[in-house]
Amino acid sequence: MTPWAAGQTRVLLLFAAAALVGPGARAEPFAYITNQKDDTVSVIDTASGQVVKTVQVGSQPAGVAVSRDGAKVVVTNPGSKDITVLDGRTHTVAATLAVGEGPLGVALDPSGARAYVADFYGHYLSVLDLAEGRLVKRMAVGRHPAGVVVSPDGARLYVANREDDSVSSFHGGTLDLDRTVAVGRHPFGLLLDSKAQRLYSANVESNDVSVVDTAAMRVIKTIPVGKRPYALASALSGKRVLVTNQYDNTVSVIDAERLETIGTVPVGEYPEGIASHPDDRHVYVANWFSNTVSVIDALTLTVEKTIVTGDGSRAFGVFIPPGVPCR
């Protein structure tokens, strides 16, 4: 049996077992924080603000994506050149699947059936069918791809090409390249608004955020932020966009209507991953050097809570399921 086939068997068994628990078992979403230095994922219950489990995964985990219903979690492990699939209900490893040379950014399609994994060293995007446990396609992209996002309807996916200073758009169905737009220097994290009309790119070396009109695939605004912006999230019905600044130990807050920075929130040391809570008000920030997660109130722009996690918390991606209803 091949590694993919073996992994698929485990996925089906664990997901089937979890389904017996019933939909009422998940009242609150969990946050999944990849800890790159100790090869683990910290599972945070966002209701209590506590780490309820620590899961061993592959080597040097970095990227993470959670399905809308919270049932599937995909973690990229650049050190072991594979991905770990977690069952989001039992918080256990469902499968470990080899993929590429340097898996980093990852996103799931709206159904949670497909994973799109950016290979930082291989310069391609791997499209994986999680239900069947197989590689669907490898798509050539730009040099050192990092962030990946998928539109809410699955019709488009976008990839940040770090070394090419560009972002590429692909058709979700055919997986064909649509267009590529030049952005700032070394784009890394991406954020797509709820209507898929605007794409935000955090540009690490030009210390700014490019705002792209997705219909025209052109930059309509470049917004200065802090030093080494890394990833983005939105809150308050998309009215605010928050971006982590690695070197400033801050989060810049952008008014999405005026497209200008309106505030800065101090967080932990070397913030990287950032994700929105489904309550649309709170935003979680993974602090790599502090080994913590900061919980920001996007309305008051204050840190409400700091949660201790594992060693080297990165959590690059959507690490909280966006579609899970709260109490």
* Full 3-state SS string of the chain: CCHHHHHHHHHHHHHHHHHCCCHHHCCCCEEEEEECCCCEEEEEECCCCEEEEEEECCCCCCEEEECCCCCEEEEEECCCCEEEEEECCCCEEEEEEECCCCEEEEEECCCCCEEEEEECCCCEEEEEECCCCEEEEEEECCCCEEEEEECCCCCEEEEEEHHHCEEEEEECCCCCEEEEEECCCCEEEEEECCCCCEEEEEECCCCEEEEEECCCCEEEEEEECCCCEEEEEEECCCCEEEEEECCCCEEEEEECCCCEEEEEEECCCCEEEEEECCCCCEEEEEECCCCEEEEEECCCCEEEEEEECCCCECCECCCCCCCCCCC
Please tell me the pTM assigned to this model: 0.90
Residues 49 and 216: their CA atoms lie apart, in Å, by 41
Q: So what's the pLDDT on residue 28?
A: 73
The answer, yes or no, to whether residue 14 has pLDDT greater than 70, is: no
pLDDT, tens digit, 9 for 90 and up, residues 39-82: 999 999 999 999 999 999 999 999 999 999 999 999 999 999 99
Taking residue 92's Cβ as centre, other Cβ atoms within 10 Å add up to 14
Evaluate if residue 327 carries a pLDDT over 50.
no
Interval 16-37: pLDDT, tens: 434 333 333 445 799 999 999 9
Residue 51 pairs in a beta bridge with 44
Q: How many CA atoms lie within 13 A of 162 on its CB side?
A: 21
Q: Is pLDDT above 90 for 272?
A: yes
Q: Which two tokens stand for residue 16?
A: 């089937």
Look up residue 270 and give its two tokens.
Answer: 């070397």
Residue type, 53: K
Residue 160, pLDDT above cutoff 80: yes
Burial degree of 121 (CB within 10 A; 0-12, 13-18, 19+): middle
Residue 150 pLDDT exceeds 70: yes
Domains delineated in the chain: 1-17+29-140 (2.130.10.10)
Residue 299, phi then psi, degrees to nearest 5: -85, -50
pLDDT at residue 323, as a whole number: 64
Percentage of residues in the chain with pLDDT exceeding 70?
A: 90
Whole-number average pLDDT of the chain = 91
pLDDT of residue 12: 43
76-111: per-residue pLDDT in tens?
999 999 999 999 999 999 999 999 999 999 999 999
pLDDT reported for residue 133: 86
Cα torsion 212, 165, 104, 281: sign: negative
Angle ∠(297,303,306) on CA atoms, nearest 5: 120
Phi, psi (5° rounding) for residue 256?
Answer: -75, -15
Separation of alpha carbons 18 and 69, rounded Å: 13
Closest by Cα among 196, 267, 280 to 231: 267
Compute the distance between CA of residue 54 and CA of residue 40 in angstroms, rounded to an integer: 6
